[in-house]
Amino acid sequence: METYLPITDLKDYTAVLHEVDSLDKVYLTENGQSVYAIMSIKAIKEMEEAIANMAITADLRRAVARSEREGWISQEDLEKEFEVYSWDAALPGKERQCYILI
């Protein structure tokens, strides 16, 4: 949730910070225009995580599109190119392929 307050409300910054605690975001306005935002650390962390997830998703989409255009590399070629060593690892109740990238 968010709220808008005039920048002059900073004279009582304790009240403004209380708003941030309960709302996560407070926008400070000057002459009716938003000029500053105060956010809780939790809200900042969530925003940073969302931005990172969007960047990873965009990278993956570009990689898939490129692979569709240029073709996929085989596991064998991948292992040769990047000196990756793989082996099958059996854990109780699970089997999975393990990789080491050197």
Domain residues of the chain, as ranges?
A: 2-39, 41-71, 72-102
pLDDT tens for residues 76-98? 787 777 776 665 555 566 655 55
pTM: 0.57
Low-confidence ranges of the chain (pLDDT < 50): 102
Q: Note the pLDDT of residue 74.
A: 82
- CA–CA gap between residue 29 and residue 6 (Å, rounded): 5
For domain 2-39, which architecture applies? 3-Layer(aba) Sandwich (3.40)
Q: Note the pLDDT of residue 2.
A: 76
Q: Note the pLDDT of residue 66.
A: 92
Q: Note the pLDDT of residue 60.
A: 92
Q: Burial letters for 51-64: b for 16+ Cβ neighbours within 10 Å, e otherwise?
A: eeeeeeeeeeeeee
As given in the structure block, the two tokens for residue 17 are 């910070």
